[in-house]
Structure 1
Amino acid sequence: MAFYEDMAVMALELIAEFGQPVTLREITTPEYDPDNPGGGDVMIEQTAQGILLDFTGLEFQNDTLIVRGDKKLKVAALGMAWKPKPLVQVDVQGRTWTVINFKEINPAGTPLLYELQVRS
């Protein structure tokens, strides 16, 4: 298990060196509370390290969910309070993107990396 923990540290170091900080934002609507009927949406944010990439031609051929303009965002998993999921907003390179799909790289139960498909 120590091997994959070391790999998670290495992934974070490499992405921090060659990538950039990204902000993930999730907005949820809490269940109705009769004691607080005016309660609004709740927003949680976290900062992570990520690398924004283009999809390759082969990925376009193999995955019908990818549309022109979508990007691939690789985010280091180490240190994240919660993992991304579809519809989470991501601020990167001055733009806000929406997570369409995500894949977790998680060998032996140790999250190393999240690969997100994002759309602006």
Structure 2
Amino acid sequence: YILGTYHQPSYNPYTCLLNTQTMNDNFLSRLLNKNQCDEREIKSKDEFKTSANIDKLLLKASLNYKNIHYISMRESQCNDKDCIIIENGNPIIVRPHLTKFGAEKFTKIIMNNILSTPK
């Protein structure tokens, strides 16, 4: 199995969430801060973006071999225009690493793909 890449957020969601929680302490901070961190981010802000489409290259390479299967991480994280960064109040990725929540999320996706691959 070859795992594709996932969207690397352009900001640290943990820092945003921590600042939001800290800012809830007084009236002025509540007035100035919307108390929200973007849960989704447009694809073009991907910190991992390169001139080469790595996922396309990995998929193409996997199609040359019957015993190699490509699993797209971005299909589960992104839609046509943006990608999820925070889900149910939990950051998925703190670049370049998956969080515990993100690792659990992607592990389920990977295992479902492996178990559904025809033998």
Question: Does TM-score exceed 0.5, indicating one fold?
Answer: no
Structure ID, larger Rg: 2
| TM value normalised by structure 1 | 0.25
Task: Considering Cα pairs closer than 8 Å and 6+ residues apart, tell me whether 1 or 2 has the greater RCO.
Answer: 2
| TM value normalised by structure 2 | 0.25
